[in-house]
Amino acid sequence: MKKVLLPLVAVLLLSFTSCDNIKSLADVSFDVNLTTPEMTITPPIEKVMGKNGYTFELEETIDPTINSDIKKYLKKIKKWDIQSLQIEFVSVSEEGTKFDKGTLVEFKGSGVSATLTFDDELEIKKGATIDVPSEFFDNFEKILETNNKFDVKIKGGTNNYATIKVKVNIDVTITANPL
């Protein structure tokens, strides 16, 4: 009797469990690092009158679909979960260089944008990183959820005429379902 009862209970449990719950058993999670190429900030040679001195604006595109894991699951991605987002200063040509208050980093893609604005001057040092606060992640995840490439724009000013090399690094855990 017990041998017959166990399969019957299993069938009943499966019939009461939704298909989505069963399908979620096949979910796959993997980590990906999305990085801009090294971006070189070189203000125009003429000094712009105003706050501290030199203004700049540059933009770079990140295409997450070139990653082989993302490409494999692109139409099956359920969730993008940002683990960290950092701005890395690779080099700076002039010691004591600072970003002006109001300098921004903007992410744009598929009609969605997320902007981080520096509330204070920010000294730029070679090898330093800025950890973007997690409160920023919700808007940025909306950009990632479009599964399309997106632009990273850095715009602002500096107190010195300096060449600054910067990269943006994004660590993401992706959940997809191959079914």
101 belongs to a structural domain: yes
Give mean pLDDT, residues 26-43.
91
Q: What one-letter code names the amino acid at 141?
A: E
Instruction: Look at the chain and report how many structural domains it folds into.
Output: 1
**177/46: higher pLDDT:** 177
With respect to residue 39, please indicate whether it lies within any of the assigned structural domains: yes
Domain annotation covers residue 95: yes
Strands 54-62, 112-117: pairing is unpaired
Which DSSP symbol is given to 69? H
Please state the rounded mean pLDDT for residues 24-33: 89
Q: Kindly state the percentage of the chain with pLDDT values over 90.
A: 59
Where in the sequence is the domain holding 55, given as residue range(s)? 26-176
Q: Tell whether the model's pLDDT for residue 49 goes beyond 70.
A: no
> What's the mean per-residue pLDDT of the chain?
85
Q: Is 10 within the bounds of a domain? A: no
Q: Are 84 and 127 in contact (CB under 8 A)?
A: no
Residue of higher predicted confidence among 30 and 136: 30
Closest by CA position to 129, among listed 101, 82, 90, 158: 90
Read off the pLDDT band of 51 (50, 70, 90). Answer: low
Helix (H) or strand (E) holding 154: strand 150-158
pLDDT at 53 over 70: yes
CA distances from 122 to 40, 116, 154 (A): 17, 13, 14
Residue 156 inside a domain? The answer is yes
Query: For 116-132, what is the mean pLDDT?
Result: 92
> Residue 18 — very low, low, confident or very high, per pLDDT cuts 50/70/90?
low
Query: What type of residue is 125?
Result: K
In this predicted model, which residue has the larger pLDDT, 124 or 14? 124
Is 79 inside a domain boundary? Answer: yes
Q: For residue 129, is pLDDT > 60? A: yes
Q: What would the pLDDT profile of 62-109 be if each residue is shown by its tens digit?
A: 999 999 999 999 999 999 999 999 999 999 999 999 998 999 999 999
pLDDT of residue 135: 86
116 belongs to a structural domain: yes
The yes-or-no verdict on residue 11 having pLDDT over 80 is no
What is the C-alpha separation between 129 and 125, in angstroms, rounded? 9
Quick: pLDDT tens for 159-170. Answer: 888 899 999 999
* CATH code of the domain covering residue 88: 2.60.120
In a domain, 68, yes or no: yes
